[in-house]
Structure formats: structure tokens, C-alpha cells
């Protein structure tokens, strides 16, 4: 073998080694990037799930307080116990919101802000900070649960989940309400 053939052989080996090294580096970098995305998606899912759970807990406690105050429901808890429960639930809701703020995309953060605003309106009427009729109360609850659905939609998009929770395949649901009471205390139809 002469010097030119040896040089070509060495160049081919070096080129092959460089190509293999470059390819392995890119594959490893892509694998690391995918692992990081998966890791953050898991944290996002946990944050979004916790936030919605905390939000719903707050609304349900507000409903219990409101219905107790308005004589629509009997409860074994005192008003003070209900208010303390709402305060603790609100604290946990705030912590969950902060995680959403840290991990969520722009649309998720905006949906969370809107959901907070609607839920606070429910809280304020339940605690008497704002006044309103039963129809106002129901409208505030409907708005809060529409905001929950909007948050779900934004979170699904942020996580890359296909499909939708709203639209023609999933029509808007209304509040489940008991039949109206008559003045004499009997259930109406």
C-alpha cells in the first residue's frame, strides 16, 4: 500500500469516527431534551391537577357556607368553622396557583388568573363581602365552573393532549340544582 492509499484509509476512519461521534452527541442531546420535557410535563400535570382540586375545594366550601347562611342546607359545622375551612382552603389554593405560575405556559397562567377571579366572586358572596340574589349566586358559580373548563382546555394544550373538553362534542353543562322550594316548605316541581 502506498502513502496515498494509507492517507485515504486514515481519512475515511477519522471521518467515520467524527460522524459517529457527532451523531451520538446529537442523539444523546435529543434524548436529554426529551427527558427534560417529560420531567417538566409530569410536574406541570401535577401542578395543574392540584390547582383544580384546590380550586374546587374552595368553591364547595363557599357553597356550604352560603347555603347554610341562606337556610338552604343544614350543616353540623358552625359558621366560624366554615370560615376557617375556607381560609385554609384559600391558602392552599394560593400555593397551588404559585406552582401554576412557575410551570405554566402563557395561556395556562391567564386561564388561572381568570379562574381565581371567578372563584373569589363566589367566596365574596358566600362570606357576605358582596351581596347578591340566589340567581347572582348561581351565575357566579356557573362562571367559576366555566373558568375551570377553560383552565382544563389551556392545560391540555400546554401538555400537548389532543382533543377538547368543550365544543360540539362536549356541550356546556349547567349546575345540578335541586327543585325550587315552595313558600310552605314543600318541594316544587
- The pLDDT confidence band at residue 73, using thresholds 50, 70 and 90, is confident
157, HSE (Cβ side, Cα atoms, 13 Å): 14
Flag whether 32 is in a domain: no
Flag whether 1 is in a domain: no
Flag whether 33 is in a domain: no
Which residue range is the domain that position 133 belongs to?
41-159
The mean pLDDT of the chain is 85
pLDDT digits (tens, 9 = 90+) for 157-177: 999 988 766 655 555 666 666
pLDDT digits (tens, 9 = 90+) for 96-154: 999 999 999 999 999 999 999 999 999 999 999 999 999 999 999 999 999 999 999 99
Q: Domain total for the chain?
A: 1
pLDDT of residue 182: 43
Say if residues 72 and 26 touch (Cβ distance below 8 Å). no
Question: Phi-psi bin for 173: left (phi > 0), alpha (psi -120 to 50), beta?
Answer: beta
- Cα–Cα distance between 66 and 132 in angstroms, integer? 11
pLDDT digits (tens, 9 = 90+) for 172-182: 666 666 665 54
Flag whether 182 is in a domain: no
- Cα–Cα distance between 146 and 129 in angstroms, integer? 23
pLDDT of residue 66: 95
In the predicted model, what is the mean pLDDT of residues 87-97? 96
Flag whether 24 is in a domain: no
In the predicted model, what is the mean pLDDT of residues 2-17? 82
Flag whether 52 is in a domain: yes
Cell numbers 374546587: residue: 56
161, HSE (Cβ side, Cα atoms, 13 Å): 14
Flag whether 128 is in a domain: yes
Quick check: 187 pLDDT over 70? no
pLDDT of residue 15: 82
pLDDT of residue 178: 61
49, HSE (Cβ side, Cα atoms, 13 Å): 7
Quick check: 184 pLDDT over 50? no
Higher pLDDT, 37 or 29: 29
Flag whether 112 is in a domain: yes
Amino acid at each position: 500500500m502506498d502513502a496515498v492509499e494509507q492517507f485515504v484509509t486514515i481519512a475515511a476512519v477519522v471521518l467515520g469516527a467524527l460522524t459517529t461521534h457527532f451523531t451520538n452527541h446529537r442523539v444523546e442531546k435529543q434524548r436529554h431534551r426529551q427527558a427534560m420535557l417529560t420531567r417538566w410535563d409530569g410536574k406541570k400535570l401535577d401542578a395543574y391537577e392540584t390547582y383544580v382540586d384546590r380550586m374546587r375545594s374552595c368553591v364547595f366550601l363557599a357553597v356550604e357556607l352560603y347555603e347554610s347562611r341562606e337556610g338552604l342546607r343544614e350543616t353540623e359545622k358552625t359558621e366560624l368553622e366554615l370560615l376557617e375551612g375556607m381560609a385554609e382552603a384559600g391558602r392552599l389554593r394560593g400555593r397551588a396557583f404559585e406552582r401554576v405560575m412557575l410551570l405554566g405556559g402563557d395561556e395556562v397562567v391567564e386561564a388561572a388568573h381568570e379562574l381565581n377571579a371567578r372563584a373569589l366572586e363566589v367566596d365574596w358572596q358566600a362570606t357576605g363581602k358582596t351581596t347578591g340574589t340566589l340567581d347572582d349566586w348561581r351565575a357566579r358559580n356557573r362562571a367559576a365552573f366555566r373558568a375551570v373548563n377553560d383552565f382544563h382546555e389551556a392545560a391540555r394544550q400546554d401538555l400537548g393532549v389532543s382533543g377538547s373538553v368543550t365544543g360540539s362534542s362536549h356541550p356546556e353543562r349547567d349546575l345540578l340544582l335541586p327543585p325550587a322550594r315552595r313558600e310552605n316548605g314543600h318541594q316544587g316541581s
